Chains A and B, each alone.
Chain A
Amino acid sequence: GDSVTQKQGQVTLSEDDFLFINCTYSTTTYPTLFWYVQYPGQGPQLLLKVTTANNKGISRGFEATYDKGTTSFHLQKASVQESDSAVYFCALVGDSAGNKLTFGIGTRVLVRP
């Protein structure tokens, strides 16, 4: 079945630091890949979508790049702010109907002022 691996459980940064979160995946189909962000007590929000067609997504200062060779897609932001503190999940849709979404374990990002 599909799987998504996030190895970084927590990342602690200072404001204006560079953020990089890596995610690797395994699937037998052409994947559609997502990054979601979840703030405390809320449902996850869709941050970015990356497909094998476009290889890259950009939103709210975040950028996600897909690498088919290493089956990875990472999330980065050049300069984080305290308001970026949240849990970031990578996720994968691997079925052709697009209904089965598999999430990674999440990376908690703490940005100190």
Chain B
Amino acid sequence: AQTIHQWPVAEIKAVGSPLSLGCTIKGKSSPNLYWYWQATGGTLQQLFYSITVGQVESVVQLNLSASRPKDDQFILSTEKLLLSHSGFYLCAWSRDNYEQYFGPGTRLTVL
């Protein structure tokens, strides 16, 4: 069975500080991987997706970047956080049948 892990579970950061969020998927080789952002009480906005190591496509620019250093790992980062980056960050993976499965998420608070 596939498992998806996100770290950290929660972060409190200062405006202007850097950020790195991680996602690992186990039990599935060469998954498609995705990053989403969700404002409190809001909908999910797809940010990035990756279909292979080293290749990332941007869907929405929110002063964030993503990288896929390994087949099972997806990283979301920024060098300078904004207040508007606060929210819930979700990683997801998919098989070939378009179904996306989400991880537990990381709650980010920017002060």
Residues on A lying within 8 angstroms of B by beta carbon are 32, 34, 36, 41-46, 49, 89, 93, 97-106
In the complex, which of the residues B46, B99, B104 contacts A43, with contact meaning CB atoms closer than 8 Å? B104
- In the assembled complex, the CB of B35 is this many whole angstroms from the nearest CB of chain A, namely 12
Residues of A contacting B97 with CB < 8 Å? 98
Question: Which residue in chain A gives the minimum CB-CB distance to B32?
Answer: A99
B46, B57, B92, B98 pick with most chain A CB within 10 angstroms: B98
Instruction: Assess the B43–A106 pair: CB atoms within 8 A.
Output: yes
Nearest 7 interchain pairs by C-beta: A43-B102, A98-B98, A103-B44, A105-B43, A93-B98, A103-B43, A99-B49
Question: Which residue in chain A gives the minimum CB-CB distance to B95?
Answer: A98
Residues of A contacting B59 with CB < 8 Å? 100
Q: List the count of A-B residue pairs having beta carbons below 8 Å apart.
A: 50
Complex Cα distance, B11 from A30, in Å, reads: 40
Residues on B lying within 8 angstroms of A by beta carbon are 32, 34, 42-46, 49, 51, 57, 59, 90, 92, 94, 96-105
Instruction: Assess the A49–B99 pair: CB atoms within 8 A.
Output: yes
- In the assembled complex, the CB of B22 is this many whole angstroms from the nearest CB of chain A, namely 15
- In the assembled complex, the CB of B55 is this many whole angstroms from the nearest CB of chain A, namely 12
Whether A89 contacts B32 in the complex (CB less than 8 A), given A49-B99, A99-B57, comes out as no
**Interface residues of chain B: helix, strand, loop or mixed (majority):** strand
Instruction: Assess the A46–B101 pair: CB atoms within 8 A.
Output: yes
- In the assembled complex, the CB of A53 is this many whole angstroms from the nearest CB of chain B, namely 12
Whether A46 contacts B44 in the complex (CB less than 8 A), given A98-B94, A99-B49, A99-B51, comes out as no
Residues of A contacting B51 with CB < 8 Å? 97, 99
Complex Cα distance, B38 from A103, in Å, reads: 11
Complex Cα distance, B51 from A93, in Å, reads: 16
Complex Cα distance, B1 from A55, in Å, reads: 28
Residues of A contacting B94 with CB < 8 Å? 98-99
Question: Which residue in chain B gives the minimum CB-CB distance to A51?
Answer: B98
In the complex, which of the residues A44, A93, A97, A100 contacts B44, with contact meaning CB atoms closer than 8 Å? A44
B32, B42, B51, B99 pick with most chain A CB within 10 angstroms: B99
19 contacts between A and B (CB under 8 A): A32-B98, A41-B105, A42-B105, A43-B90, A46-B100, A46-B101, A49-B99, A89-B43, A89-B44, A97-B51, A98-B96, A98-B98, A99-B49, A99-B94, A101-B34, A101-B46, A103-B43, A105-B42, A106-B43
